[in-house]
């Protein structure tokens, strides 16, 4: 299958982060600072990405502001013609840094918020005064004239404050809000017992988002990522494996999705080993689940096979033990009843924080 060029690159500059959120999607085995790609390697990656047709780069982590070369990398990406987005907790940013990023061509800033109340925001992030810093970052971003999205990852501990979270996004001057239920990969899977919402919470969240969408039409665009375990069908994870974007880890592995390393039989090529376009088009990992030939009989016979592409490969591996299985979140999966029962029976637990600030 000829995949066409990738549209987006998720550049995970570092796993270092001052926050300790229990829902973090980074892997359990984090990459140390000494193993991170140096500036020159990222410069080559960004230029190569633009040459092969990538349109957007999302600088992510960890906390990408932990890298002192962030401003330089944004400048390279902007010069190469890429649309640049910074996915950040806001911690580590100052007004001077935000202004410098805007001057170097940063187009958009995506700010995570944990809760609209200071004490709860601190409890979820494991960081003191997180909310005050985020408010300041939003104001500096507005002043610098950059587009702002607020990203609110929702779970049992903060869903009760969803209306206030939406109000806060408006107050912060965001044009867009992402209300996303936790995806249970990487570190978040360890915290499933602490984070899983109830069915009533999930149903209420959908209704609150629908109401806000119509009330705030023209003011705030709200995107909603529902929780998998209450859905009828899975999401088209990554827009289909190897079809839309690629992720580059802090040490330079090129992945079809940020959690792909959980699939043990796949081998991932590194930047610099051969051209990025060849890795995208020809590598075994990117081709493993492209198209429909690899699909289970259930998916191959399903009219939704090119809508959700069989769901999430990493979730299939985690729950069915087979990355090529129908996503167990799908009601047509033979594993669906067991998946739902297992999730419903998950014992409640306390947060296990993800701490990795110094590397
Ligand atoms: Fe999607 Fe496969 Fe479920 Fe059909 S059977 S809805 S293709 S996951
Ligand atoms: Fe890897 Fe869904 S997270 S395919």
Percent of the chain with pLDDT over 90: 84
Q: Whose CA is nearest to atom 2 of ligand 2?
A: 312
Question: Rounded to an integer, what is the distance from CA 316 to the centroid of its chain?
Answer: 18
Residues 286-311: what's their mean pLDDT? Answer: 96
Residues 293-318: what's their mean pLDDT? Answer: 95
pLDDT of residue 97: 98
165 pLDDT more than 80: yes
pLDDT of residue 357: 63
Residues 148-159: what's their mean pLDDT? Answer: 97
Distance 236 CA to ligand 2 centre (A): 9
- Which protein residues are within 6 Å of ligand 1, measured from CB? 233-234, 298-299, 302, 304-305, 308, 310-311, 326-327, 330, 332
313 Cβ below 6 A of ligand 2: yes
Nearest one of 309, 306, 328, 302 to 317, comparing CA atoms = 328
pLDDT of residue 247: 98
Residues 157-161: what's their mean pLDDT? Answer: 97
Bridge partner residues of 148 (DSSP): 109
Percent of the chain with pLDDT over 70: 99
CA distances from 16 to 67, 174, 244 (A): 9, 26, 26
pLDDT of residue 249: 97
pLDDT of residue 52: 97
Distance 174 CA to ligand 2 centre (A): 28
358 pLDDT more than 80: no
Nearest-atom number in ligand 2 for the CA of 237 is 2
Bridge partner residues of 246 (DSSP): 9
Nearest-atom number in ligand 1 for the CA of 330 is 3
Q: Whose CA is nearest to atom 1 of ligand 2?
A: 314
Are 185 and 259 in contact, with CB atoms under 8 Å apart? yes
Token couple for 209: 């988002």
Nearest one of 147, 121, 104 to 19, comparing CA atoms = 121
Nearest-atom number in ligand 1 for the CA of 296 is 2
109 pLDDT more than 50: yes
Pairing of strands 245-248, 254-255: antiparallel
pLDDT of residue 223: 97
Of 19 and 45, which is predicted with more confidence? Answer: 45
Residues 174-184: what's their mean pLDDT? Answer: 95
Distance 204 CA to ligand 1 centre (A): 26
Residues 222-246: what's their mean pLDDT? Answer: 93
Distance 333 CA to ligand 1 centre (A): 8
pLDDT of residue 30: 87
pTM (two decimals): 0.94
pLDDT of residue 342: 86
304 pLDDT more than 50: yes
At 359, is the pLDDT very low, low, confident or very high (cuts 50, 70, 90)?
very low
Average of per-residue pLDDT values in the chain: 94
228 pLDDT more than 90: no
Nearest-atom number in ligand 2 for the CA of 183 is 3
């Amino acid at each position: 299958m000829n995949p066409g060029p990738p549209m987006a690159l998720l550049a995970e500059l570092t796993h270092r982060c001052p926050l300790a959120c229990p829902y973090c999607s980074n892997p359990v085995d984090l990459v140390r600072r000494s193993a991170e790609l140096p500036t020159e390697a990222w410069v080559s990656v960004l230029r190569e990405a633009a040459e092969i047709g990538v349109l957007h780069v999302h600088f992510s982590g960890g906390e990408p502001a932990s890298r002192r070369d962030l401003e330089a990398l944004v400048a390279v990406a902007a010069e190469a013609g890429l649309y640049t987005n910074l996915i950040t907790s806001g911690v580590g940013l100052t007004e001077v840094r935000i202004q410098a990023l805007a001057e170097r061509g940063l187009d958009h800033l995506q700010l995570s918020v944990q809760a609209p109340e200071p004490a709860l925001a601190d409890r979820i992030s494991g960081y003191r005064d997180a909310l005050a810093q985020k408010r300041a970052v939003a104001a500096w971003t507005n002043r610098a004239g950059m587009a702002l999205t607020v990203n609110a990852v929702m779970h049992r501990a903060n869903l009760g404050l969803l209306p206030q979270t939406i109000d806060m996004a408006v107050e912060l001057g965001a044009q867009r809000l992402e209300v996303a239920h936790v995806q249970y990969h990487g570190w978040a899977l360890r915290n499933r017992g602490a984070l899983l919402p109830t069915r009533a919470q999930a149903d209420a969240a959908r209704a609150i988002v629908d109401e806000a969408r119509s009330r705030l039409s023209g003011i705030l665009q709200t995107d909603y990522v529902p929780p998998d375990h209450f859905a009828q069908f899975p999401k088209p994870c990554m827009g289909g494996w190897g079809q839309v974007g690629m992720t580059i880890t802090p040490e330079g592995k090129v992945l079809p999705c940020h959690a792909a390393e959980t699939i043990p039989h796949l081998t991932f090529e590194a930047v610099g080993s051969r051209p990025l376009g060849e890795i995208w088009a020809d590598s075994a990992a990117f081709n493993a689940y492209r198209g429909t030939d690899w699909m289970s009989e259930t998916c191959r016979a399903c009219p939704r096979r090119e809508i959700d592409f069989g769901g999430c490969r990493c979730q299939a591996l985690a729950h069915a033990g087979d990355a090529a299985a129908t996503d167990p979140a799908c009601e047509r999966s033979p594993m669906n009843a067991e998946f739902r029962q297992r999730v419903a029976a998950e014992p409640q637990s306390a947060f296990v924080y993800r701490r990795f600030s110094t590397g």
